Amino acid sequence: MGVDAVTREAILFAAIGFLIGGIDDLAVDLVFMWTRLRGWWQPVRQRAPIRSGGRMAVLVPAWDEAAVIGPMLSTALARYDYADYRIYVGVYPNDPATIAAASAVAAGDDRVRLVVNPRPGGTTKADCLNAIWRALLRDEADEGMVRAIVLHDAEDVVHPDELGVIAAWLADHQAVQLPVLPLPDARSPLVAGHYNDEFSEAHAKTLAVREALGAALPFAGVGCAIDRALLGQIAEARGGLPFDELSLTEDYELGLTVAAMGGRAKLVRSRDPGGGLVAVRAYFPRSLHAAVRQKARWMTGIALAGWDRTGWARGGAIGEHWMRMRDRRATLAIPVLAIAYLALVMWGLSLGAHLLAGTPVPAPGGALQALLAANLALLGWRIAMRMLFTARAFGAIEALLSVPRLFVANLVALLAARRAIAIYLPTLRGKRPVWDKTVHHFPDAGESGAA
């Protein structure tokens, strides 16, 4: 039957693609295990947070964030256990609700500085950050240079020790990234929950592997800090502004730029006195539509436009090349995934046709059978690793949910790829990117305290 031939070819194509991806993931796991083994013999000492290590400037861009910016600022002011910091909130003149919410907090605490972007919103997050940067420079002319720049989003729940831990590690590093952990959302255990699995693995394993390989450490855009002097050098190299306004993922690219300029970055997984991880926590999108929008922006900025913008690493940097290829492999993985689902549908049609005709269903054999067996083993390993990291961060129930969430993550990726292409193609014709943000929500008092 013709359908049998099409099915076989689709299965073969998908199986080869899955094998390549599975080996890639396995290699990362093996490198991580080696780093842990070395860590047993060469342990990294945890540094106690300090309360006074120079003024920190916390930059929070906010476009259409009236629902969350007030609680976020109030929570940060109440939580931060650090002597000297100021929170700069970037807002837009055509967003009066966000201005009012941020102003209500700023009026009662001079540690909050409101910065109104001269351009109407929304532009890009990088443009908003540059408006804050210009305001910071004006303040520094009167008050002196700050020690570091810390980046946050308007929905973040900060840890009390965050700034103290950052200050401790900036003593001999130029940049610090703290882990990001989503807040489990009982209202969306599958869509919002799939972020739990991805971030628990990425910020406990993948970033650690990048660091071990000497590859650049991309920033998550929140919970990351950059030495002020280095950021000034980046701004000087870019004509006075440190954040690239044409980028949809300025945080990712900034991490690569820090490495390119010789900056030493560190992923810091520190524990507070109660044993809790010093991390940034936030609710992630709970609806399929919102998750697709967010993932499409990431995919556009990193795997499509980012490929054009950042290129590859210097010659001979094998670890850097490998990690950048992993960042961009979605452009190859999505067609493989789509064909795999097509193959599944075709196999169902083939099975139905053979049952109706009373003929035997052809079974895979030879090389295809070996490929499928290898992929099954790699899939089992991948599921086990994801469950392990999710369990460490969120417990056994979330680890069990991580299995069905693999299918949710695949669906989000497939839909996001289509949207990403639609976003990316106009930029090739010179269209400026815009802030395609999602609606955020902040935990209530009980949830915030638990975080």
pLDDT digits (tens, 9 = 90+) for 165-190: 999 999 999 999 999 999 999 999 99
Residue 309 placed within a domain: no
Query: According to the model, what pLDDT value does residue 450 have?
Result: 47
The C-alpha atoms of residue 118 and residue 131 are separated, in whole angstroms, by: 8
In order of 32, 205, 213, 217, the CA distances from 25 in angstroms are: 11, 11, 15, 18
Q: What is the pLDDT of residue 206?
A: 96
Is residue 169 a part of any domain in this protein?
yes
| Residue in the block written with tokens 């991948």 | 382
Comparing 198-212, 361-375, 407-421, which segment has the lowest mean pLDDT?
Answer: 361-375
Of 371-380, 390-399, 413-422, the one with minimum mean pLDDT is 413-422
Query: Looking at the 3D structure of the chain, how many domains does it have?
Result: 1
Residue 330 lies in a domain: no
Q: Which pLDDT score is estimated for 447?
A: 60
Q: Does residue 89 lie in a domain region?
A: yes
What is the per-residue pLDDT for 379? 95
pLDDT number for residue 43: 66
Confidence of residue 42 (pLDDT cuts 50, 70, 90): low
Averaged pLDDT, 288-314: 82
CATH classification at residue 200 = 3.90.550.10
pLDDT over 90 percentage in the chain: 67
**What's the pLDDT band for 48 if we cut at 50, 70, 90?**
very high
Give the chain's radius of gyration (CA, Å). Answer: 23
Burial 171-186 (b: 16+ CB within 10 A, else e): eebbbbbbbbbbbbbe
* Domain with 109 in it: 45-285+439-450
Q: Which of 64-78, 208-222, 433-447 has the lowest mean pLDDT?
A: 433-447
Report yes or no on whether pTM surpasses 0.95.
no
141 has pLDDT over 80? yes
105, part of any domain = yes
* 364 in a structural domain: no
Task: Write down the pLDDT at residue 446.
Answer: 58
Give the lowest-confidence range in 55-69, 116-130, 195-209, 353-367: 353-367
Q: What does the mean pLDDT of the chain come to?
A: 90
Task: Work out the angle at residue 360's Cα, subtended by the Cα atoms of residues 359 and 363, and round it to the nearest 5 degrees.
Answer: 150
Distance CA 391, CA 399 (A): 5
pLDDT for 449 beyond 50 = no
**Per the domain annotation, does 76 fall within a domain?**
yes
SS (H, E, C) the chain: CHHHHHHHHHHHHHHHHHHHHHHHHHHHHHHHHHHHHHHHHCCCCCCCCCCCCCCEEEEEECCCCCCCHHHHHHHHHHHCCCCCEEEEEEECCCCHHHHHHHHHHHCCCCCEEEEECCCCCCCCHHHHHHHHHHHHHHHHHHHCCCCEEEECCCCCECCCCHHHHHHHHCCCCCEEECCEEECCCCCCCCCCHHHHHHHHHHHHHHHHHHHHHCCCCCCCCCCEEEEHHHHHHHHHHCCCCCCCCCCCCHHHHHHHHHHHCCCCEEECCCECCCCCECCEEECCCCCHHHHHHHHHHHHHHHHHHHHHHHCCCCCCCHHHHHHHHHHHCHHHHHHHHHHHHHHHHHHHHHHHHHHHHCCCCCCCCHHHHHHHHHHHHHHHHHHHHHHHHHHHHHCHHHHHHHHHHHHHHHHHHHHHHHHHHHHHHHHHCCCCCCCCCCCCCCCCHHHHHHC
More confident residue, 211 or 304: 211
In a domain, 39, yes or no: no
The pLDDT value recorded for residue 314 is 67
Per-residue pLDDT at 286 exceeds 70:
yes
Residue 134, CA distances (Å) to 88, 115, 130, 178, 396 in order: 11, 9, 6, 26, 47
